[in-house]
Structure 1
């Protein structure tokens, strides 16, 4: 990890740069994949499975038999853990449901708003170097709670042409029946344009590598919506003198092991703590099965030793971390000063891992600084907010003149006429009644 001591503010942007490739470079690889899937559909998907996943697929869709077998392949302990996570995630997301709003803005003018589920959604579940079955819960549960009519799940197969049984078991719990063995940019293309096997969807969700992220950004210009730019994982840790070096090291490594393009950031005022954390990283790193990924990620990672807690917070707001751990004595005193973060973890006993799996919050979060303007996935991500209005004759008599004046001032006379004709009719009707 690169260590910076009191870096000047003008250098923060450069110091905090993520280790991502240039969009244009990845776009050149991804665009032909999207084009081929659009043109050749399932045939292209099978070709890419052979090229990238090194497997010859007989069927892209996962069969009911495969889904039913998955449960028997998992240990009792893992199934119970998934069920506990399911319950917590469902509880937290169910609490996000909003009642319809109805307001009378003036006599005779009623305005309403309610949430309506997105009909068709696609869920992308990474499965390359690690099968992220937890993402099935994070995306499938709110989709089900929202009432989405069609939920399609795509995930890359292993070399036996199968998906991890935990992915299938989690999907079954979430009520997802359309599951397909497709990964990478080709999966994003398939859900955008539709193929014989994979339906076209209205919105695509899910994290992924840089190729998946760029593919999502490209197709978002082609008529399909996406949740957010969610690329390689990252964590920032704010630590004070009360932080436990072993905990901090473990938190940093928990994100570093995601992949070589992940990044971790440690921010502190305690120079002594940095040395202790580095020693702990050395001890823990060699014991990790994915130590090669973690080592590569640490090369792209940063430690910032700041003069004051204010500087620490300013730097963290500049970074806009996907995950932010406040490993400090009084985290609730600081939390309201954090404006840019995907999800915040308060205190020494709140590891980011809990949010990744089972506490209840969603782990699909904005990365690469997008936390400055994007939220993480929630129940709201799977619904649209539709507004309604109803105006009575009395209401239009009160409101109409305001609309006429404003429309005329903008020189939109058809807008004015749409009101004026109705007001003329109401006036005539009232005159008849008086006779």
Structure 2
């Protein structure tokens, strides 16, 4: 990890830059695949599955028999762990259900807001080097609570043309209605346009690599909403001498092992803590099965010393981390002044892994600085707010003249007439 001391503010942008390609570098390939999928559907999806996932598939759809077999394969211990996580995630997301909001703005003018589920949602679940069945919990559980009618899951197959048994078990447990063996750009394109096998959806959720992220952004040009531009994972830890260096190192490595384009950062007011964490990272790295991936991610990562808490919090808000761990004695200062972060983990005994799996919060979060304007996935992500109003004869008389005057001032005579006719009928 690169150690940085006495960082000048004018250098923040360069130092905090993510190790990702630009949209422009990827967009051409994504556009080409989108056009092909739109024109030729399943045949092109199978072509790119062969090219990128090294497997030829006759049928992209997961069968009930495959799900039944997967249920037998997953160990009882893992099933219990998944069920525990599901229970906590359900509790947290059910608590987000809100009642109808209703108000009479003027006598006879009644307005209210209700929420309705998005009918068709697509869930993208990364496979590859790490089949993220936990992401199914984070997406399918709130989708089910919201009442989405169609929950379509896409995930890349392995070289045997199969999905990880834990993915199939979790999808079945959480109410997914259709599971399709397709990943990458072609999966996002399939859910955008719809094919014989892949249903078209109204909104696409889920993290992915840089190609998936750009594909999701392109989907928005074709009338499909997305949760957020969620790309490679990232973590920022702020720690002082009250932190446990071994714990901090383990958290940094937990995100570094996601992928070579992940980024982890330690910000500290203690040079001793930085030195201790650096030693712990080197020690713990050697014992990781995914150490080569983590090693490359660590090469993109930083250990940053700052002189004081105010500089630290300013730097953190400028970065806008996806995951943010606070292990400092002055805890309240950081929590009160943090405005840009996806999810916050507080204290020595709150690892980021807890949020990834089983504490109950959602782990689908904004990356690449998008925490400055996006929220992480929550129950409302799967719903739309609809407004209603009902105006009585008394109500239109109260607000009618104001509407007429405003419509006339904007030069919209038909708008004015719609009110004038009603007012005249009441004379």
What range is the shorter-chain TM-score in? over 0.9
Q: Distance in 1 between matches of 2:175 and 2:393?
A: 47
- Secondary structure, counterpart of 2:222 in structure 1: coil
- Secondary structure, counterpart of 1:214 in structure 2: helix
Aligned pairs (5 A) from 1:238-277: 238-277=238-277
Could you list the structure 1 runs, at least 4 aligned residues long, displaced by more than 4 angstroms after superposition: none
Once the two structures are TM-superposed, the CA of residue 333 in structure 1 deviates from its matched residue by 4.1
CA offset digits 1:59-93 (Å, max 9, x no partner): 10000011111111011110000000000001000
CA contact (8 A) 1:82 1:170 kept: yes
Once the two structures are TM-superposed, the CA of residue 334 in structure 1 deviates from its matched residue by 2.3
- Secondary structure, counterpart of 1:220 in structure 2: helix
CA offset digits 1:185-244 (Å, max 9, x no partner): 000000000000111000000000000000000111110000000000000000011111
**Aligned residue number for residue 189 of structure 2:** 189
Q: Distance in 1 between matches of 2:221 and 2:5?
A: 42
**Aligned residue number for residue 420 of structure 2:** 420
Aligned pairs (5 A) from 1:369-408: 369-408=369-408
- Secondary structure, counterpart of 1:131 in structure 2: coil
- Secondary structure, counterpart of 1:207 in structure 2: coil
Aligned pairs (5 A) from 1:24-423: 24-423=24-423
Once the two structures are TM-superposed, the CA of residue 407 in structure 1 deviates from its matched residue by 1.2
Q: Distance in 2 between matches of 1:332 and 1:359?
A: 22
Once the two structures are TM-superposed, the CA of residue 330 in structure 1 deviates from its matched residue by 4.5
Q: Distance in 2 between matches of 1:130 and 1:332?
A: 36
Q: Distance in 2 between matches of 1:88 and 1:215?
A: 32
Distance 1:286 1:73, change over 3 A: same
CA contact (8 A) 1:329 1:347 kept: no
Once the two structures are TM-superposed, the CA of residue 331 in structure 1 deviates from its matched residue by 2.5
- Secondary structure, counterpart of 2:322 in structure 1: strand
Unaligned runs of 5+ in 2: none
Q: Distance in 2 between matches of 1:331 and 1:185?
A: 42
Distance 1:388 1:84, change over 3 A: same
Q: Distance in 2 between matches of 1:398 and 1:122?
A: 46
- Secondary structure, counterpart of 1:221 in structure 2: helix
Q: Distance in 1 between matches of 2:325 and 2:183?
A: 31
Unaligned runs of 5+ in 1: 428-435
Q: Distance in 1 between matches of 2:414 and 2:302?
A: 60
State the superposition RMSD in angstroms.
0.8
Query: How high is the TM-score relative to the length of structure 1?
Result: 0.97
CA offset digits 1:122-168 (Å, max 9, x no partner): 00000011100000000000000000010100000001100001001
**Aligned residue number for residue 430 of structure 1:** none
